[in-house]
Amino acid sequence: MSNINLIDSFQEFKDFKNIDRPTVISVLEEVFRSMLRKKYGTDENCDVIVNPDNGDLEIWRTRTVMEDGFSEDDDLEIELAEAKKIDPDLEVGDEHIEQITLESFGRRAILAARQTLVSKVLELEKDEIFKKYKDRVGEIVTGEVYQVWKKETLVLDDEGNELMMPKTEQIPADYFKKGDTVRAVISKVDMVNATPKIIISRIAPEFLQRLFEIEVPEIFDGLITIKKIVREPGERAKVAVESYDDRIDPVGACVGMKGSRIHGIVRELKNENIDVINFTNNVSLYITRALSPAKITSIKLDDVTKHASVYLKPDQVSLAIGRGGHNIKLAGKLTGYEIDVYREAGEEDEDVDIEEFSDEIDSWIIDELKAIGCDTAKSVLALSIDELVKRTDLEEETIKEVVSILQSEFE
């Protein structure tokens, strides 16, 4: 054959993604030069000519014509008698140029070259994928769910690259099936056994930040800065924002008219409750805002131990703590202070919202009591244990424990 067509000889080319054509052809050229060195001992007198447009490659070998009996290296020189058999016009000192065909290497060498080429290009492809995603950590990526396992989900990006989303990086309410479109943030990129492993996450604070950047143009343009984000994925999140332009209301801009901007984010996060608050260097005010929607009466700060004692009216305590304690926990993470909540001293017969006991009584038990109209401590204590057992689905031992906790509040 007059030339070697790379596309015909190496069909694997069409399957390579992420590697540009010139790089692949460069690798191919090096593979053939390696074959030349094995066959002839050197490739110094060989020209490998590649046509990147149609995938053709030609190999030409040049040897100097020597007088008969004076050739010292048959790889670099050719004797006159042999040269004249090929071209009668050649004389001593001329250069004899011959084309090397693919068949001359032999079947075994060609198969070995094919395997070497495929291996080298696959290595390059993996390196390219690694470099590409290493530089994109923290960015949002959209992909299609390809396979769902118990502990992780395999997602393919628009180029078919594999992205792994462990169960621990999914929002608890997430449910995916094959073919679903999913958005997540690239959280980690590693090389494992020479293969890039790309981890994506939907619980990382960066995911929420990128969603805000998409939905709120003022954040994307830098007019509003997100100072800090803390999350309990799928439950609640708090976002502190600040604007250096007095004409811009950062909270209003993030929420949007009638919540138009934040609703899309909430839906993406499976109805995660998002509190957007104004950042301030005034610690007392910052903690007050962080404990929203609860209304605080007073705060005592210990800046040395980073401890805050917050006093509220009894009906505000449960709001400050939040369901499952999420609100106060996130407020502490956001402000960097350990927060303790106290009820203001009031009348001795003052009642207490049953939600205030969420740190001692399981939420499902509180829900059972509220379902029968007992939403305060005294409304529960007003009923006998037998009556409570009869009206709820709770065990007698559970009722006795709840009553004991409520009674201790008024002792």
Domains identified in the chain and CATH numbers: 6-127 (3.30.1480.10), 144-203 (2.40.50.140), 280-344 (3.30.300.20), 354-409 (no CATH)
pLDDT of amino acid 9: 45
- Whole-number average pLDDT of the chain: 85
Bridge partners for 100 per DSSP: 59
* Residue with the larger pLDDT of the pair 249 and 98: 249
pLDDT in tens, 272-327: 999 999 999 999 999 999 998 888 999 999 999 999 999 988 778 888 888 888 99
pLDDT of amino acid 4: 45
What proportion of the chain, given as a percentage, has pLDDT over 70?
90
pLDDT of amino acid 237: 95
Q: pTM of the prediction?
A: 0.65
pLDDT in tens, 148-179: 999 999 999 988 899 999 999 999 999 999 99
